[in-house]
Structure formats: C-alpha cells, structure tokens
Amino acid sequence: MQYRDFGKTGVKCSILGFGAMRLPVLNNDESQIDEQEAIRMIRYVIDNGVNYVDTAYPYHRGKSEIVVGKALKDGYRQKVFLATKSPVWQVEKPEDFDRYLDEQLNKLQTDHIDMYLMHALNRQRWEKIKSLKFYEFFERAKAQGKIRFAGFSFHDKYPVFKEIVDGYDGWDFCQIQLNYMDVDYQAGLRGLKYAASKGLPVVIMEPLKGGKLAKLPDKARKILNRHPQRWSDVEWALRWLANLPEVTVILSGMSTFEQVRQNVEIAQRLTVGNLSENELQLIQEVKRTLESYAVINCTECGYCMPCPNGVDIPGNFRVYNETIMFEDFEGGKGIYRWFQSQKIAASFCTKCGECLSKCPQGLEIPSLMEKVHSELGA
C-alpha cells in the first residue's frame, strides 16, 4: 500500500480510502445494509493496508455509521483514521453541532473522530455555518478530544471553494470531487492546487464519477486499448488521480467484494508519476471523445441562473449530456428523479423565456428543457 503525508498533521494516510456511501444492500433498499458483507469488505481493506475510512451522517439513511462502527470493533478502530461529517443542513443552532457529533460518536462506538468534516458546503451552507460560529464548535470539540482534524467537503463553484479555504485558519484538510472528466467542475484542478498551496491535504471523492468511469463505452475503451498494458477502466481513473502530487487520499465507494479486491490490488501501483506523457495524452483523448458526444452546447457559465421557477438549468443539461456521453440512461434517469424530488428538474420549467436573452450560446432553453424531461423523465 502507498501512503502520503496528510498535510501538516504529522500523520500518513493510505492513497486509497474506503468510502462507506455505497455499501452492499439487501432488497435494493439503501437502508438495509448487508452487514456481514460490508464488515468483511471493510476489514479486508484494513488488513491490506488501507487506513482511511470515510462515512457520513446521512449515508444509507443513517445506517452507514452504525455498520462502520461494528466493522471497526475487535481492534480495527486503532488501525484507521476515521472520517465522518456534520449534517450542516440540519443544524439550526450552535449546540446542534455538538448534539450531532455526540450521536455520531455513539453510532460509531468510538470516543473520537479523526477527520471531522462540515458536509457538502456550498455558498448557502457556508454562510449558515459561519452565522452559527462553527469554528467555536471545532475548537471546543478538539479541546474535548472528540475530534482531531477539522475539514470540509465541497459542492459548488471554484470561487466559493477559494473563499471557504481562506475563510477559516483552522482547516486541517478538505474533500473535493475530482476525476479526469471533471477537471473544471466545482473546485476542480484549480481547487486542488489552491488547497495544496495553502498546505491543506486534499481527499478526493467521486474518482470514478459515480461509476461512469468504471465501465467506459466502447468509443472510449477502444482508445485505451491502444496501450500495451491492458489496465482496467478503474485503474486508468485511479492512476490519473494518484499521478497528481497534490492528491492525498482517493476515496472509493466500493459495493462488492470484487471491487474491494480490485481496488486494493491497484493501490499498490498508485504513485506520483505513475503515468507517462503518452498515457496522459490517451486519457485526454478519451475525455475529448466523450465530450464530443455532448448534444447540448451548454458551458455551465450560469448566466441563465437563477431560474424564477427554481430549475437548475445547467445541472439538467449536464445530466442529459453525460447520459448520452456514457450511454447510461438508467443512471441519468436516476439522477433526474432526484432533481425532480428537489424541484430543480426540467419538468418545472414554465417556458417563461426569462433565460433566453441571458444565454451567450443562444440556446433555446425552454424547448431543450422539454427535451430533457421527455427523455429522462419518462
């Protein structure tokens, strides 16, 4: 197993981390974790050198932390750095930070969390936790020995990420979404390098883009097949991330024991400089090829936002484009259903036309919203 310095904290973490968001389940019910198999998987990765385990309050409808706590019994807790996250969207008053932390300590059957994160920060949540003086909670929890290192995970645009990094001197680390397709999405590569320039270790989530990069369509796979080493799609994606010296931990949300075995085996080769220039160019060719199949020419500039009806216009276009790129209609429809539950889906477009004059690409947004809904909302 390869290990990297976790910033200035003085600890070293395995390049591969176990993400407990996609544990095996029974009856296709996210709340019914297959505990025996999940525990076997978690203990296998630890036995093979993984020392970073990540979960969160809402994963598996609140059951992930419980199962992770069970997996870390029998001496396994002492072998890992345990990460979980504060459900900041549910925090309404300062003492709620402490109440949720205490609940999580109980569920995880531990007296401390090594890496504790403010979960999924964006502009709105950042303003909220500042108003609730989150920094006082961090200082208090550290003094009490309940947490060791303070961090945040992030889902918004780069300027917001930069503001959050600069907005609190007590950050010990951060967590961002990054893969070779999402270099300019959310914090992106700029965010990775900015955080590293500030001395923050960076934990990577969605290295396989929700599984899309684990099974590439033939149009992309044939490009990688020109390489003499027949690496799996997963290995290409993990190698690309590990090649970056600013990456500290790559979280993989493994759902099967076979995925666990595959990830652990690949992790032995995840070093900085593990890809040649020619190999990096192959990945760039895959990226360009997939992007060429985007059928809606949206640059996600955001000029069309906010929509008066609450529709996430760039988000709907992104889901639709990626559905076509990766030939994954089942996955695209699943994301679209979530958009509908959040009332941000294309179906909420009233064709008011307010967005039309704002789009620099001249897109016929209302008619395209109708197209997105007709194909993903069926």
- Per-residue pLDDT tens digits for 338-367: 999 999 999 999 999 999 999 988 999 999
What pLDDT digit, counting tens, does each position of 284-324 carry? 999 999 999 989 999 888 899 999 999 999 999 999 999 99
pLDDT at 191 over 90: yes
10 pLDDT tier (thresholds 50, 70, 90):
very high
**Span 268-277, average pLDDT:** 96
92 pLDDT tier (thresholds 50, 70, 90):
very high
What pLDDT digit, counting tens, does each position of 129-172 carry? 999 999 999 999 999 999 999 999 999 999 999 999 999 999 99
pTM of the predicted model, to two decimals?
0.91
Q: Would you state the pLDDT for residue 193? A: 98
Burial profile 85-114: b = 16 or more Cβ within 10 angstroms, e = fewer: bbbbeebeeeebbbebbeebbebbebebbb
For helices 94-108 and 134-143, angle between their N-to-C axes, nearest 10 degrees = 40
User: Phi and psi dihedrals of 244, rounded to 5?
Assistant: -85, 120
Burial profile 137-173: b = 16 or more Cβ within 10 angstroms, e = fewer: bbeebbeeebbbbbbbbbbbbbebbbebbeebeebbb
Closest by CA to 175, choosing from 286, 10, 21, is 21
Q: Which run of H or of E encompasses 152? A: strand 147-154
Residues in the chain: 378
- The residue ranges of every structural domain in the chain are 3-283, 313-376
pLDDT at 250 over 90: yes
Amino acid in the structure at residue 249: V
Q: What share of the chain is helix, strand, coil (3-state, %, to 5)?
A: 45, 15, 40
pLDDT at 42 over 90: yes
Q: What is the DSSP string of 70-125?
A: HHTTTTTGGGSEEEEEE-GGG--SHHHHHHHHHHHHHHHT-S-EEEEEEEEE-HHH
What pLDDT digit, counting tens, does each position of 206-237 carry? 999 989 999 999 999 999 999 998 899 999 99
Q: Would you state the pLDDT for residue 18? A: 98
Q: Would you state the pLDDT for residue 299? A: 87
Percent of the chain past pLDDT 90, that is, above it, reads: 96
DSSP 8-state secondary structure symbol assigned to residue 229: S
pLDDT at 246 over 90: yes
- Contacts of 216-222 with C-beta under 8 Å, sequence gap 24+, read 216/286, 216/326, 217/290, 217/325, 217/326, 217/327, 219/289, 219/290, 219/293, 220/286, 220/289, 220/290
For helices 257-267 and 35-47, angle between their N-to-C axes, nearest 10 degrees = 10
Percent of the chain past pLDDT 70, that is, above it, reads: 100
End-to-end alpha carbon distance in the chain: 45
pLDDT at 46 over 90: yes
CA angle 185, 188, 189 (to 5 degrees): 145
Q: What is the CATH number of domain 3-283?
A: 3.20.20.100
Q: Would you state the pLDDT for residue 300? A: 87
Three-state secondary-structure class, residue 306 = coil
What pLDDT digit, counting tens, does each position of 95-140 carry? 999 999 999 999 999 999 999 999 999 999 999 999 999 999 999 9
User: In which residue are the tokens 């959040």 written?
Assistant: 342
User: In which residue are the tokens 């559905």 written?
Assistant: 323
What pLDDT digit, counting tens, does each position of 67-91 carry? 999 999 999 999 999 999 999 999 9
